[in-house]
Amino acid sequence: MGQCLHARDTVPATRPYRELPSKSTDAHAMPTQPTPLLQRKHFLLGTFASNCSSGMSVTKVPERWQNSWDNNLKLARLLDDAGIDFMLPIARWIGYGGETNFHGDVLETVTWATGLVAQTRQLTVFATTHTAANHPVVVAKQIATIDQLGRGRAGLNIVAGWNNPEYEALGLKLAPDHETRYAYAEEWYQLVRKLWQDPGRFDWDGAHFQLKGIHSHPKPYGEMPPILNAAGSGLGREFATRNANFLFTPAIDLARSKDEVAELHGSARAKGRKVGVLTFSHVVCRPTEAEARAYLSHFGQQHADWAAVDNLVNLQFAHAQSFPHDLLALIRDRMAAGHGGFPLVGTPQQVAQGIISLAEAGFSGTTLSFVDYVAEFPYFRDTVLPILRAHGLRDA
Ligand SMILES: Cc1cc2nc3c(=O)[nH]c(=O)nc-3n(C[C@H](O)[C@H](O)[C@H](O)COP(=O)(O)O)c2cc1C
């Protein structure tokens, strides 16, 4: 049933780097370059979770995603050449159990992003950071360093916390209430932003951080690395509409999404800001609908790792409000197939139509995942992207 093309062979370690003007040799220069991702006006496309074992599909099929460095590099180059906008990783420290220990093998996101930015030309690569596990001064410098390396192509996905067993594994205490989590995240991010924007040294005397004579140089290459935040709770959304360029939310039911996106735009507008709303989708694209549906049922039902799915769903429902709690049964199936992502299943025309419907619901973009990203992306590139271009949704 699986695709015959596999991405297990090795790839050359280096690729010619396109020379872009180095901004300045002055280490104290302030960023002046526009941020490449924020210049793009078309419907954004990225990938999600390729740094994690099994990607977004909680499945036991043997062709499930292997998150090796070689596979990630291969995928990044395919995406870069196809004009895809970004790659987004998941920061995960322990797996979800089940037969496959879903997400038990994960490439660390800051180092992963650094390597990929060095090996690509136009793609933005996000790092994902748990506020509680990473000191903001360290993160500000890490992201600024990647941004210098990639000439403005680094992004930061901020995670305020939800996965209690993971916090216990790290010896951290997850605040039970969202007020405390997001108050901490707010101070954490205000500090990162000041470190990126303040030309001099400063003291910081906050509730969580007290710093003396801190400064951070170099600054990011771009004006501001794009900030992404995924929050379902009211307080999380307040945080995102106040601070992020993009808010991530699941698209479970597009009628609901339309109102939700409009509300999020309104909430950002009330703060004098513009925030794009992104979602995440899982792609099963085949020449016929019957083939696509048969493969979905094969990997996402018959061979799903249901024990891991249930661990994932239970954790989501215990600690986070990302998914609407009244849609559990539907979500369990979608969790198996694509970690709760919007299903883009069918022929190239049907998949393209699904993406068009996301745009019509008000989303500014979506991530894509595949059971085997490297084997399946080229078919999507060759058949779906031209339809999106013809529809005016994509420049590339
Ligand atoms: C697209 C997306 C990406 C996310 N990435 C991560 C991640 O890498 N690591 C993580 O621990 N949580 C991740 N999360 C969880 C969120 O950052 C957030 O903590 C969670 O949705 C709970 O927020 P809430 O309680 O405000 O709903 C992600 C969620 C979504 C929807």
Q: Where is average pLDDT lowest: 64-73, 141-150, 293-302, 311-320? A: 311-320
Categorize the per-residue pLDDT at 323 as very low, low, confident or very high, splitting at 50, 70 and 90: low
User: Tokens 């209430």 sit at which residue?
Assistant: 177
CB-CB contact of 296 with 284 (8 Å): yes
Name the H helices within 170-205: 178-197
CA distance 317 to 366: 23
Q: State in Å: Cα 238 to ligand 1 middle.
A: 15
Evaluate: CB of 236 within 6 angstroms of ligand 1.
Answer: yes
Evaluate: CB of 159 within 6 angstroms of ligand 1.
Answer: yes
pLDDT of residue 4: 35
Q: Where is average pLDDT lowest: 67-81, 281-295, 323-337? A: 323-337
Categorize the per-residue pLDDT at 30 as very low, low, confident or very high, splitting at 50, 70 and 90: confident
Categorize the per-residue pLDDT at 11 as very low, low, confident or very high, splitting at 50, 70 and 90: low
Range 110-118 average pLDDT: 98
State the average pLDDT for the chain.
91
pLDDT of residue 20: 44
Ligand 1 atom at minimal distance to the Cα of residue 319: 25
Evaluate: CB of 233 within 6 angstroms of ligand 1.
Answer: yes
Residue 356: which of 45, 39, 38, 82 has the closest Cα? Answer: 45
Q: What is the chain's length?
A: 396
CA distance 254 to 277: 13
What amino acid occupies position 158? I
CA distance 103 to 89: 12
Instruction: Give counts: helices (H), strands (E), the chain.
Output: 13, 11
Q: State in Å: Cα 303 to ligand 1 middle.
A: 26
pLDDT of residue 159: 97
Q: Six-digit token pair at 190?
A: 């205000």
Residue 266: which of 232, 233, 298, 241 has the closest Cα? Answer: 241
Q: State in Å: Cα 90 to ligand 1 middle.
A: 9
pLDDT of residue 26: 52
Beta strands in 40-123 (DSSP E): 44-48, 86-88
Q: Whose CA is nearest to atom 30 of ligand 1?
A: 230
Evaluate: CB of 278 within 6 angstroms of ligand 1.
Answer: no
CA distance 149 to 118: 7
What amino acid occupies position 11? V
Kindly report the pTM of this predicted structure: 0.92
Q: How far, rounded to the nearest angstrom, does the alpha carbon of residue 242 sit from its chain's CA centroid?
A: 19
Evaluate: CB of 167 within 6 angstroms of ligand 1.
Answer: no
Evaluate: CB of 128 within 6 angstroms of ligand 1.
Answer: yes
Ligand 1 atom at minimal distance to the Cα of residue 160: 19
Angle between helix 348-360 and 373-390 (nearest 10) = 60
Per DSSP, the three-state class of 153 is coil
Range 55-63 average pLDDT: 98
pLDDT of residue 274: 96
